[in-house]
Structure 1
């Protein structure tokens, strides 16, 4: 259900991005803001965006490290995992998008391979009776369960 909702929101978001890109004539957004808006307002917006991205980075790294520590590496100290993953992410962020793409191709290959392995080894334990129609009783029980 959330995937369908996200697709609908994307249909609204993408034309908005295209509109902004046409209005700024492809210029970098921060440069455009500095030219056309108050400098202090532009600096506040840039600061808020950077702060948001840093908070997102910290939350994502924390969740990934917690998940890895619980599932795979129970005896590995958290500081080692944080340093290893943090250094790898910073190193990749300092390189070009091409390097990030190449690394992602290799990671995707192994993720798909391990995904098939997990799928086939757990095949005997799957209970297909748990798959039910999502909106069998209408949309209200879904909304009630998730929001109230």
Structure 2
């Protein structure tokens, strides 16, 4: 199933989905959600909603510099997880980076997040770990086994 990936300015939807999906990790890591930091960061991101049959099913937030594209948020509604939407969103970022002639994609993920397996299947590798966070990246030129 191929989602429509379109720009969004709906900060409330984004914040709600992120809080919902990340609550278990925040609790396990004894972290608190920072709405002020989210509000500040929101204005600096290119944000997209994933839509299937006119229903929003996910969120993708990216930014970039001359060296890399950064996946800052990739959140899929729990009812739609494990259906390939995360892979499709990552491929969207890969295509966007290729068009901009940028060769790296980077992201951060909590060490306890099972999404690490998805990122590894999509060619990301852990470059460093600080505290409870993995810093991962992949080269666009890497064409390993990408999930279809």
Higher helix share: 1
Q: TM-score range by the shorter chain?
A: under 0.3
Higher strand share: 2
- Structure 2 length normalisation: TM-score? 0.21
Higher relative contact order (CA 8 A, sep 6+): 2
- Structure 1 length normalisation: TM-score? 0.21
Point out the structure with max Rg over C-alpha.
Answer: 1
